[in-house]
Structure 1
Amino acid sequence: MNNDDFRQWSRRAADWGADYRNNLRDRPVRPLVEPGAVSRSIEVSPPEDAEPMDRIFADFEEKILPGMTHWQHPRFFAYFPANAAAVSVVAEYLVSAMAAQCMLWQTSPAATELETRTVDWMRQALGLPEGFSGVI
């Protein structure tokens, strides 16, 4: 994928995400598929040649999306992942675009120091005494 295609598909994915979030209430919370339905919709053997991105995106919409549980659906009351806010989705895109490995200071000094500061902000917000620390 060249840079122009990357720009086009990034925009398309962002538009898709905004539309998805806007129309989420109209979807069923849980997928209406039987076990094995998604697997049966995917070719048994890998493709010999690369597929165009529009075909891959169509496969996502036609084969994957119908088998997904919609965790952010307003009627889904199980788990509450922290990456649900729109700002978190945008932040995740930035991290993914850089392919950041944020596991140690050596692999990403900025991420490590931001995490340390954020944990301290959480400590302060909760009214915990100095000395409480941790990792996210």
Structure 2
Amino acid sequence: MPPLPRPAPPITAATLHRGLADARFELAAIGYFDPQWSLLALRHVAGHADGVHLPIRRIARDALLFGAAAVMLAHNHPDGDPRPSMADLRYTRRLATGLDTLGIRLAEHWIVTPTSVTSFRDEGLL
């Protein structure tokens, strides 16, 4: 897989985080990017109080349709706990593996709360 330029511009994080921190239910944002970090598409998926369903197949399909080189994911934890759950960790690994087989990088996964943001990449989880 060809390397993407580093780092992604700060606007990327701001764009994905917008509206997540204060939501009272789980909400996810998926950003699809070209190799120069131009945003190709942004999708939001609403969940419920303690979860959001993000089909890996749909994310992969969208990435292919948009011609994305990278995907970034952000979701909130309405309870304010910024730590990834075991389900978050398992899902992120499965998504990264699935996208990698298609030549697409899962560049980041953030957990957003009203007071903090946890980066899977910074924590060594991605």
TM range (shorter): under 0.3
TM-score (norm 2): 0.28
More helix by percentage: 1
TM-score (norm 1): 0.27
Bigger radius of gyration among the two: 1
Higher RCO structure (Cα 8 Å, ≥6 apart):
2
More strand by percentage: 2
